[in-house]
Amino acid sequence: MSENKLPSGIDRVVGQRIRWRRRELGLTQEQLADLLSLTFQQVQKYEKGVNRVSAGRLFEIAAVLGAPVTYFYEGAEMELADERLGMAEDGEEVRAPLLDADTLDLIAAFQRIEDTSLRKSLLNTVRAAARAFDPRQDED
């Protein structure tokens, strides 16, 4: 496979967004595959960013998932910027983190909370918990 045919960071972002939207709608990979006349393995490969999603296929996916095509590129600018940076000064690879299933579930659940004060309270609680486990906190 030629280098320009290999999946890129943007392909991973698109795949992640497909997964996120599918999960938001409560669809399984099998159900989405059936709607697209694909195998669930192909949907899995798209979601993991292992296989590139063609423009035509992305248009079909967007229609089935009820989202504009642009939805699937949200976050791609950051990924592209990270790829251009290449490596950090310390030689460590620079890459935007992909969101795992728990994080996606947390975001989806949080977005369903309509009470603004409850959302702020929960966000403050999560931030406090994160600070409690931050090893950099011991450096102060």
Domain count for the chain = 2
Q: How far apart are CA 122 and CA 48, in angstroms?
A: 30
Residues 41 and 65 in one domain: yes
Residues 8 and 75 in one domain: yes
Give per-residue pLDDT as tens, 26-40.
Answer: 999 999 999 999 999
Residues 74 and 126 in one domain: no
Residues 45 and 106 in one domain: no
Residues 54 and 113 in one domain: no
For residue 45, what pLDDT band results from cuts at 50, 70 and 90?
very high
pTM higher than 0.85: no
Residues 81 and 20 in one domain: yes
Residues 83 and 108 in one domain: no
Residues 93 and 49 in one domain: yes
**CA separation (Å) from 34 to 15, 42, 51, 63, 68?**
17, 11, 18, 14, 20
Domain that holds residue 121: 100-140
Residues 91 and 112 in one domain: no
Residues 9 and 60 in one domain: yes
Residues 43 and 66 in one domain: yes
CATH number at residue 74: 1.10.260.40
Give per-residue pLDDT as tens, 83-123.
Answer: 555 544 444 444 445 566 677 778 778 888 889 899 899 98
What HEC string does the chain produce?
CCHHHCCCHHHHHHHHHHHHHHHHCCCCHHHHHHHHCCCHHHHHHHHHCCCCCCHHHHHHHHHHHCCCHHHHHCCHHHHHHHHHHCECCCCCECCCCCCCHHHHHHHHHHHCCCCHHHHHHHHHHHHHHHHHCCHHHHHC
